[in-house]
Amino acid sequence: MQITIEMIETKEFKTKPRGYDPQEVDEFLDAICDEMVRMMDQTAALQQQLAAAKAARPVVEAPTQQMRPVAPAPVKAAVPDADFREILEMAQKVKNETIAAAEAKAEEIIAKAREEAASRLDNLDVEKESLVKQVAALKEAAADYRAKFEALLQAQQEAIEKASDLF
C-alpha cells in the first residue's frame, strides 16, 4: 500500500489506557509528513535536472582516426526504383500544381487591382467634370455679379453727377 501525506495526516489511532501518548504520536506523524514533502520536492527537482542534462547533452563526435577505405557494400533500396520515381513524379506534380495555383491567384489579384484602379479613375473623371462645371458656373456668376456691380456703380456715379448739377 502506497502511503500518502494525506493518509498520515488524517490517520486516527485508538487510545487505550496503557497506550502511547497521542500528542507525541501526532508530532511524530507531522515530522514524517514534513520529511515526505521535502523528499518529494527534492525528487522533482532532481528529475528536472536530469531532464535538463539530457536535453543539454553534448553531441559526441566520432574519433578522427585514420581509417582504411572500405568498398561500399551494395545497398538494397528500402524503396524500389519504380516507387521512388513515382514519388518524385508526384512531388513534381504537386510542385507544378502549387506554382500554377499561385500564379492564378496572382493573376486574379492583379486583375482585381486593375479593375479597382480603373473604377477609381472613372469616378475621379466624373468628379473632375463636375468640379469643372461648378468652377465655370462660379466664374459665370462672378462675371455676372461684377457686371451688375459695375452697372450699379455707373448708375450711382450718374446720379451723383446729376445731383452735382443741381448745386
More confident residue, 82 or 93: 93
Which residue's C-alpha cell is 582504411?
A: 68
**Mean pLDDT, residues 101-121:** 91
pLDDT surpassing 90 at residue 138: yes
Domain boundaries, the chain: 5-11+18-55
Half-sphere exposure of 78 (CA within 13 A, CB side): 0
pLDDT surpassing 80 at residue 80: no
Closest to 28 in 3D by CA, of 49, 13, 40, 14: 13
pLDDT recorded at residue 162: 85
Q: Which amino acid is at 62?
A: A
DSSP states of 81-145 as a string?
Answer: HHHHHHHHHHHHHHHHHHHHHHHHHHHHHHHHHHHHHHHHHHHHHHHHHHHHHHHHHHHHHHHHH
Mean pLDDT across the chain: 83
CA dihedral defined by 149, 155, 156, 159, rounded to 10 degrees?
A: 180
pLDDT tier, 143 (very low <50, low <70, confident <90, very high otherwise): very high
Q: Say how far apart CA 16 and CA 35 lie, in whole Å.
A: 28
pLDDT surpassing 90 at residue 29: no
